[in-house]
Each structure stands twice: as structure tokens, then as C-alpha cells.
């Protein structure tokens, strides 16, 4: 749901409770596999959009683990996985899985990577879980039920003007897109406190939820990058969306505190941050 849309209708608490429990367990198992099973000689298994957009054997193993776990427990559900473990379903539930968000960080041994699992029911995101093993943090949210980190409630930062805002962003892997994104950042940085670049969209969105960022934006994200994190940020009190009047999408994802959302969205629109 975009920041400007009306409130969502009721959700089935019994169903969302089951989906949350399974998402937490699947993310925990995949996170342990990635943390404890990372080989010392980890290398690139494949490339995607460009030679620097990589997949490791551990991305594939984590997605296989999650897909197998979910298919055993809810065989009628649909699944959309970043690495291709996708299936149709008949239950109205769809799992949207990024088994390793922040693959380049993981490849280099950096700590900012996560397992991201979002769950839709009848087209609406109702559950989000982001497991960040190297932070020892598990973020979760249920539509209308708030957001948590390790069982404690999450709230975004108190309102502060944009010139005092710490903003997160990310960059795509296509050369032309990266060049334009750098131009956009060059225009934004004089107008805010500072810019941070983490390398995991899921973690950036959770950092907005946890008050570690005042806002975050990025172009070019896929559903598995944003579904869980956007719900977590919104349930923690952040405003979320894309271009003005639009929901978060591959064109643009934006999550920010109430004071920062509108001016940042207007600036991103003026700078053409939503296109290459």
C-alpha cells in the first residue's frame, strides 16, 4: 500500500500468524546456512544483468532450502524466487523470496546481507521478514500489526527536516543506470545531512524502520528486493511509495519519515531518479 492510499481492510489473523511463523522459520534456517556454511573459497556461480551483478552457490542453496521448506508445509501456495525457484499456486498466497540480498557484500565477507521473505495474500502484502544474521537481528511485520526487531517494537525516527536527514540509497549494476544514479546523488547530498550506501535494499528499508536512517530511495529494485522491507518500514511508521501517487515499484522505491517523505519524493521526481 502506498503512503497516499487509504487504510487496508482487515486481514485473517490466523492465516497471517501461520504465514509469519513459517516466514520466520524459513528465514532463520536460510540465514544459518548462509552464515555457517559459507565456504572459504566462495566464488561466483553466475552473473545476471552485468558482469558485476553476481550469484553465488550459496544464493542458490539458500533459495532451494526455502522453497523446499515452504512447499512441504504449504504446497498450494505460489512462490516467486530471485534465483528461479518459482511456482504457481491456488491458495491466494504468494511467497516472494530473496534468499541472499546483498550478494556482493556476502561474496566479500562484509556483514550487510540478509534473507528477505515477503508474503502476499490475494495480491496484498501481509507479512514481511528480513533476517540479518551478521547483525543478529530479525525484522518482521504483519499488515496492521506493527513491526518488530528481535521481538521488540520498531519505530522510525522522530520527524526532522530534510537538511538534517541521513538518507540511504543503492546503485544498479548496469553502467548507464549507475552513472545517472551518481548524478542524482550529487544533487541530493548538499541538501541532506549525509548519504549512506549499504548494499542491501532489505537492510536499508529495515534501517528506516529502526530509526538508523531518516529515508531511503532506490531505482531498479525487483519485488523480492522490496516486498518485505517496505511493509516493515511502513508498519514502523514510515511513509512508503514510489513516484508521486504511485506505490513502490521497480521505477522507484522510497521510504522515509513523515517530514522527509514529501520533499525527498519531489526532489527525486525533479531529478528524474525514476529513469535511467
**pLDDT higher than threshold 70 for residue 4:** no
C-alpha span between 77 and 271 (Å, rounded)? 40
**pLDDT higher than threshold 90 for residue 9:** no
> Which is nearest to 239 in space by CA: 251, 230, 229?
230
C-alpha span between 186 and 148 (Å, rounded)? 34
Distances in Å between the Cα of 164 and the Cα atoms of 31, 158, 161, 242, 256 are 35, 12, 6, 22, 13
CATH topology for the 13-153 domain: Fructose-1,6-Bisphosphatase; Chain A, domain 1 (3.30.540)
- Which residues lie closer than 8 Å to 182 by C-beta, 6 or more apart? 171
Predicted local distance difference test score (pLDDT) of residue 54: 63
Within the chain, all domains assigned CATH 3.40.190.80 are found at: 162-271
Numbers of helices and strands, H then E, in the chain: 7, 14
Within the chain, all domains assigned CATH 3.30.540.10 are found at: 13-153
C-alpha span between 224 and 81 (Å, rounded)? 7
Mean pLDDT of 73-78: 98
Predicted local distance difference test score (pLDDT) of residue 50: 66
Percent of the chain clearing pLDDT 70 (strictly above): 94
**pLDDT higher than threshold 60 for residue 32:** yes
Strands 54-56 and 78-81: unpaired
**pLDDT higher than threshold 60 for residue 43:** yes
Predicted local distance difference test score (pLDDT) of residue 7: 45
The number of beta carbons lying within 10 Å of the beta carbon of residue 186 is: 11
C-alpha span between 210 and 233 (Å, rounded)? 8
Residue ranges of E strands in the chain = 44-47, 54-56, 78-81, 93-101, 114-121, 124-132, 137-142, 147-149, 152-153, 166-169, 194-197, 215-218, 239-241, 253-256
Predicted local distance difference test score (pLDDT) of residue 47: 63
CATH topology for the 162-271 domain: D-Maltodextrin-Binding Protein; domain 2 (3.40.190)
Q: Any idea how long the chain is?
A: 276
Look at the pTM and tell me if it is higher than 0.85. yes
> Which is nearest to 233 in space by CA: 251, 212, 250, 263?
212
Q: pLDDT band for 8, please (50, 70, 90 cuts).
A: low
Name 132's bridge partners: 137
C-alpha span between 165 and 260 (Å, rounded)? 7
Q: pLDDT band for 6, please (50, 70, 90 cuts).
A: very low
**pLDDT higher than threshold 60 for residue 80:** yes
Amino acid at each position: 500500500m502506498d503512503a497516499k492510499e487509504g487504510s487496508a481492510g482487515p486481514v485473517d489473523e490466523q492465516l497471517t500468524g501461520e504465514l509469519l511463523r513459517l516466514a520466520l522459520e524459513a528465514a532463520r534456517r536460510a540465514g544459518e546456512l548462509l552464515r555457517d556454511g559459507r565456504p572459504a573459497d566462495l566464488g561466483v556461480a553466475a552473473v545476471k544483468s552485468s558482469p558485476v551483478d553476481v550469484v553465488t552457490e550459496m544464493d542458490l542453496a539458500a533459495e532451494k532450502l526455502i522453497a523446499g521448506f515452504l512447499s512441504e508445509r504449504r504446497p498450494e501456495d505460489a512462490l516467486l524466487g530471485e534465483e528461479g525457484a518459482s511456482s504457481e499456486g491456488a491458495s491466494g498466497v504468494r511467497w516472494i523470496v530473496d534468499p541472499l540480498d546483498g550478494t556482493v557484500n556476502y561474496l566479500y565477507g562484509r556483514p550487510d546481507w540478509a534473507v528477505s521473505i515477503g508474503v502476499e495474500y490475494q495480491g496484498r502484502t501481509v507479512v514481511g521478514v528480513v533476517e540479518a544474521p551478521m547483525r543478529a537481528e530479525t525484522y518482521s511485520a504483519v499488515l496492521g500489526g506493527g513491526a518488530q526487531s528481535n521481538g521488540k517494537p520498531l519505530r522510525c525516527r522522530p520527524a526532522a527536516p530534510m537538511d538534517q536527514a541521513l538518507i540511504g540509497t543503492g546503485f544498479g549494476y548496469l553502467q548507464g543506470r549507475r552513472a545517472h544514479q551518481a548524478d542524482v546523488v550529487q544533487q541530493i547530498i548538499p541538501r541532506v545531512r549525509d548519504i549512506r550506501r549499504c548494499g542491501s535494499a532489505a537492510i536499508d528499508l529495515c534501517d528506516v524502520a529502526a530509526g538508523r536512517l531518516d529515508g531511503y530511495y532506490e531505482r531498479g529494485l525487483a519485488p523480492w528486493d522490496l516486498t518485505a522491507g517496505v511493509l516493515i518500514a511502513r508498519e514502523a511508521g514510515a511513509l512508503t511509495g514510489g513516484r508521486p501517487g504511485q506505490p513502490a515499484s521497480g521505477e522507484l522505491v522510497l521510504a522515509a519519515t513523515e517530514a522527509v517523505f514529501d520533499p525527498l519524493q519531489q526532489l527525486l521526481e525533479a531529478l528524474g531518479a525514476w529513469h535511467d
